[in-house]
């Protein structure tokens, strides 16, 4: 990986795939990226369980639910360490982003808005991406309507300045490169 990374010009390196913070190689790769390549280092998606990390410049953390009971039902874990780690990372100077899946009837408007209010208490400029739920076979939840997405977005805009949304269909989610060139894959060897 190091040889391949040395062969291409980079400004920023995102570590993704599963939960990147559990990789035993991540600390070494962060050190290499930061101190040898001289690039900014980010976790493309993380559950935030092991933040902050040395040589990491930022992370995009998926916050699952505001309510402890809903969070426990969703993840099997308490939310306290994830939210604490996120706040600690912000105060340590990392460029943090948050995202949440809006699931009407489960992680509903109240959950998403309460999370936005909590983020705003840390810093109103934290980017927050609200993703509309994409139905999963065997689950009772439906994809939010356009109206529901508008409602949750407006609720969060009362708190945060940088709100983004996505409201993909199942088909659109299967081909993200058609919607956003950041998902284009380039293989280097």
Tens digits of per-residue pLDDT, 85-143? 999 999 999 999 999 999 999 999 999 999 999 999 999 999 999 999 999 999 999 99
What is the C-alpha separation between 68 and 126, in angstroms, rounded?
A: 22
Percentage of residues in the chain with pLDDT exceeding 70? 95
CA distances, 42 to each of 78, 102, 139, 154, 157 (Å): 25, 24, 32, 29, 25
Hey, what are 12's tokens?
Answer: 């920023």
Residue 85 CB contacts under 8 Å (≥ 6 apart), including other chains:
48, 49, 50, 51, 52
Domains of the chain in start order, with CATH, are 1-50 (no CATH), 63-183 (3.20.20.70)
């Amino acid at each position: 990986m190091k040889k391949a990374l040395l062969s291409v010009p980079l400004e920023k390196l995102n570590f993704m795939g599963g939960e990147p913070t559990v990789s035993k190689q991540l600390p070494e790769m962060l050190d290499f990226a930061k101190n040898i390549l001289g690039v900014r280092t980010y976790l493309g998606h993380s559950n935030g369980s092991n933040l902050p990390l040395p040589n990491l410049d930022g992370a995009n953390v998926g916050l699952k639910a505001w309510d402890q009971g809903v969070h426990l039902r969703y993840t099997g874990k308490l939310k306290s360490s994830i939210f604490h780690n996120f706040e600690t990372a912000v105060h340590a100077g990392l460029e943090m982003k948050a995202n949440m899946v809006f699931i009407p009837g489960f992680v509903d408007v109240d959950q998403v808005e309460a999370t936005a209010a909590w983020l705003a208490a840390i810093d109103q400029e934290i980017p927050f991406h609200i993703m509309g739920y994409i139905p999963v076979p065997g689950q009772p939840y439906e994809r939010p309507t356009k109206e529901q997405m508008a409602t949750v977005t407006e609720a969060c805009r009362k708190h945060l300045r940088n709100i983004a949304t996505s409201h993909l269909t199942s088909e659109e989610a299967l081909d993200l490169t058609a919607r956003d060139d950041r998902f284009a894959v380039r293989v280097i060897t």
